[in-house]
Amino acid sequence: MRRMFSTAESTPSSTGCCWLENPTKFGCSDPMTAMNDRLTQVLLETNRSIDAGADVLEAMDVLGRRMSEVLSAGGSLLLQVSLFPVAVRPLRRQGIASREIGEWIERMSVRILDCISEEPIPLTIEDEVGNRHPCIVVPVVQHTGQWVVLLVVDVPDRLDCDDCCLALRSVFGTYGTALRVAWRYSRYFDVFRNVSAAIHAEEKTETILHTIVRQASEAMAAKGCIFWIVDDDRCCIQHLAMHGFSYTSLASVDYETLCRLFRPNGDGLVLIEDARYESRIPDLERLGKKRVRSILGVPVSIVDGCRGILAVYFGQAKTPVPREIDFLKALSEQGALALQRAMRYDRNMLETFRQTIEGLALAIEAKDATTHGHSQKVATFCRATALEMGLGEKQAEMLYRAGLLHDIGKIGIQDRHLGKLGALNAREFAAIQKHPQIGASILQPLTFLDDIVPLVKYHHERFDGSGYPEGLHGEAIPLGARILAACDCFETMISGRIFIESVSLPEAIEKLRQMAGKTLDPAVVDALIRVIEHHPEDIHLSRDALDVQPPETPDWFRHFQQIF
């Protein structure tokens, strides 16, 4: 038996069902053929308007109005429906008063599952006073967990619902593809437009990140989204932004786990099919981990040493189709461009600030003729020694910076004490010993110098534990600080101080060997000596100076040991 819309309260259009009452007027002998022809004409006109550049949402608005006329309905609502989270949002309306929109949204929220059919279906909705409203739900677009549906309201009861739905299914199946494609790409373009707006507004890094995660989450109808900026040079997570469901279990992973989770495959996409059973993601929430199923991740390069990871997560199983993969990749790259601009600006500012700090340190040092150039030389020795030990270029550069700044704490030491190095009494020496901690305190607030702070603080620690400020021993001293200590000792020996006589290169090399394994790290000493003997030009030393024979141990070495 055919189902019929049975209601006496329907409000048909004043134009009437012309094709139903007089199909011959449309060149057809059969009313249903006439309806098919009318609906086909409406869809083709919509497609042509989109091809001509019309806004997709406006084209759908016209579609709703024309379909209401064809079906002699009381009006139509274009709705966007999502299940994760559950939401019904009006996009356009025809023939329905604005004051009634909220009531219709409330009714449709109750019948949410009726909105996500793959085919047109009849639906009868009762209002608050019991009136029955015959409707047809027409699915227009299904896109990444969201549905755009056309709700045709108050269809006349003389229409056969099966015939209507059959005609709509046939027409949309044949001519609806262009509309669906246009809608999907319009959503993607909206995302890129919003991210681009953040770029051109010269927003801060945090603002751009939050724009990306919000837009990605909404466009993919995801449960949420996280964007990390990771610093591979420092092996840490630099920034994190999250939108949607607070997925603490994933957001809390450390740098190493994050890199293992999102190690890109051949096409640059990482798919975690069921995060509930992914052992690398900790279970930090009572139900949080179990509320997320699939995770899509896209790593992307930003600037040297830094990259981004965009992860979108879903409450249901998700197998991405090619267009979704392309969208996520494009969004990640767009975000990377924005972040490049912001981070390079930040880095330029930080570089200017760092140069100012280094200039201050060198200016302080220049006040004393005996120490002028000391930090610059130590920095050069540190960089060469680091490279000789097989450390990377970036670590060598970091040690060069540490060499420039290692004595900045002397800004807090009285000049009369600094002028007596080698002839200090116990009280004066105790004051001098504070300069590494003072230097670390000066640099501590400057987060871009985080790697340098421990090297400055511990460059007077000694391998045998006899140093200061904490008496660290052996490998408990950071490697960079051990390199800095050896280079500092060496430069002081060959340059001398007011109360410390300078020595030749062979003498300095011999004393370094005596200190190896005692106050200095023997591996560092070996590397420094190799640089001195085999590549003296790299550290601005004369090869001829190496030919001088070292004398017996001089008296000044006792004073030198007091300092170092």
Higher pLDDT, 320 or 486: 486
Q: What's the confidence (pLDDT) of residue 5? A: 35
The residue-averaged pLDDT of 46-74 equals 82
Residue 280 exposure: Cα atoms within 13 Å on the Cβ side: 13
pLDDT of 54 above 50: yes
CATH class of 367-563: mainly alpha
The residue-averaged pLDDT of 103-113 equals 76
pTM beyond cutoff 0.75: no
Q: What's the confidence (pLDDT) of residue 423? A: 65
Q: Tell me the two tokens of residue 196.
A: 């681009």
Q: Per-residue confidence at 16, pLDDT binned at 50, 70, 90?
A: very low
Q: What's the confidence (pLDDT) of residue 50? A: 75
494 and 487 Cβ atoms separated by less than 8 Å: no
Indicate the CATH number for domain 187-345: 3.30.450.40
**Alpha-carbon distance 140 to 90, whole Å?**
14
Indicate the CATH number for domain 18-175: 3.30.450.40
Higher pLDDT, 221 or 385: 385
Picking from 299, 231, 291, 230, the residue whose alpha carbon sits closest to that of residue 270 is: 299
Domain boundaries, the chain: 18-175, 187-345, 367-563
Q: What's the confidence (pLDDT) of residue 363? A: 63
Q: What's the confidence (pLDDT) of residue 484? A: 96
284 SS3 class: coil
Question: pLDDT tens, 206-248?
Answer: 777 788 888 788 777 788 899 888 888 778 888 888 988 888 8
Share of the chain above pLDDT 70, in %: 72
pLDDT of 454 above 80: yes
Q: What's the confidence (pLDDT) of residue 1? A: 29
116 and 81 Cβ atoms separated by less than 8 Å: yes
Contacts with 416 (C-beta within 8 Å, 6 or more apart), sequence order: none
Q: What's the confidence (pLDDT) of residue 317? A: 86
What is the gyration radius of the CA atoms in the chain, in angstroms?
37
Share of the chain above pLDDT 90, in %: 15
35 and 167 Cβ atoms separated by less than 8 Å: yes
Label residues 79-117 b or e (16+ Cβ within 10 Å = b).
Answer: bbbbbbeeebebebbbbbeeeeeeebeebbeeeeebbbb
* Same fold flag, 187-345 and 367-563: no
Mean pLDDT for the chain?
77
